[in-house]
Structure 1
């Protein structure tokens, strides 16, 4: 499905192992909105990232002649213009819980786990910025257990993270964990509840393009694309 005019191609400027880009990709795929993915290697000369987004951040969505930035804002916009299947609940208190959890992963989880681990183990190599700092990696991998415990506590009483239906909160969490899983930095044996939750979301058709990602010079873990892991 394409919600834009026939002559307007929807483009997502992204980078493969960005959780924020992956979050938007999941929403677009879940809603069956056709999109052209354009990789923006923003660290290389010639990148037009600042022209597309003065904040210098990805993703950027070009849709209906507009350039849209900030993953949470983009995802909620997409949910409003293409309400099926819904990723934000109807009740205000339930939408609050979804937004709270999106913030948890995009802010707290990203700061404590995704950003430090991915920076040291992936982006330093890709951008040729030197060797990883093992202490930073160790701290990030230690912090992930706290977050897995929190997810387990939620999933013990809910079918999905924010309640009994899948929401944007699940896609946000999965976007971060999938980046770490690419480099085999999630111990799925730590929590059966979290592993079962991830297996459910990983098996959705919307996840297929993520599982096909391959960052040059950084190979995915052997189990990364397997649905039975």
Structure 2
């Protein structure tokens, strides 16, 4: 199995976490989507990461398709560790919250911060590269506060974000937050419940490869790999 990804693509991180929870170690192929490589576009004309390629050559593009595919092909064998629960009502809640983080949090927080602080360092100016746009960064830093409060509110009545079992909703939230945490832009003082939840999930073995990620010229925030932050 191959996974075309970028180390700071939150959607790629979600797929890496899911595969880690399933005990699957794919061949990782780093892809800079903004380069629009012809070979990559042949796999997925949308030209975005992540893209999963199975052993038999099946191409599964995009985070939503990949997570559903992994559940359909591997989920049942996981038993109580299944990331998308078998109960239809519970599945709706997992999907709702996964969409919240993969689309809303991504648009309002993780994508602008990663784009401005990471991607633009490597992109040519004609493709949008250059110095970070500070008003965009300030807006994203402001937006993350109510997302953390929402996480804390959910956890007042649940063990995990979508219910009593950890699942895709937790992995989605953690994947996006991990990118922002690397950059030092998570105000953990905003909500103690969210902080405790994140400490629990980043202590899982599947999270270790993400905590080992580093970027030349931009070391992680001191709390990034600290399990007792």
Q: Give the TM-score of the pair, scaled to structure 1.
A: 0.92
Q: Counterpart of 2:170?
A: 170
Asked if structure 1 preserves the Cα contact closer than 8 Å seen for 2:36 and 2:47, the reply is no
Q: Deviations over 1:163-193 (max 9, x none)?
A: 0110100000000000000111101121110
Q: Secondary structure of 1:43's match? A: helix
Structure 1: runs of 5 or more not aligned? 1-9
Q: Distance in 1 between matches of 2:122 and 2:223?
A: 22
How many equivalent residue pairs?
220
Higher helix share: 2
Q: Counterpart of 1:7?
A: none
Aligned residues: CA RMSD: 1.4
Asked if structure 1 preserves the Cα contact closer than 8 Å seen for 2:98 and 2:169, the reply is yes
1:111 to 107, 114, 117: 107
Structure 2: runs of 5 or more not aligned? none
Asked if structure 1 preserves the Cα contact closer than 8 Å seen for 2:109 and 2:140, the reply is yes
Q: Give the TM-score of the pair, scaled to structure 2.
A: 0.92
Instruction: Tell me how far 1:113 sits from its aligned partner.
Output: 0.8
Q: Distance in 2 between matches of 1:217 and 1:133?
A: 19
Matches for 1:149-164 after TM superposition, within 5 Å? 149-164=149-164
Matches for 1:1-229 after TM superposition, within 5 Å? 10-44=1-35, 46=37, 48-63=39-54, 64-83=56-75, 84=78, 85-128=81-124, 129-229=129-229
Q: Distance in 2 between matches of 1:218 and 1:53?
A: 30
Distance 1:165 1:48, change over 3 A: same
Instruction: Tell me how far 1:70 sits from its aligned partner.
Output: 1.3
Asked if structure 1 preserves the Cα contact closer than 8 Å seen for 2:148 and 2:194, the reply is yes
Instruction: Tell me how far 1:126 sits from its aligned partner.
Output: 2.6
Distance 1:53 1:210, change over 3 A: same
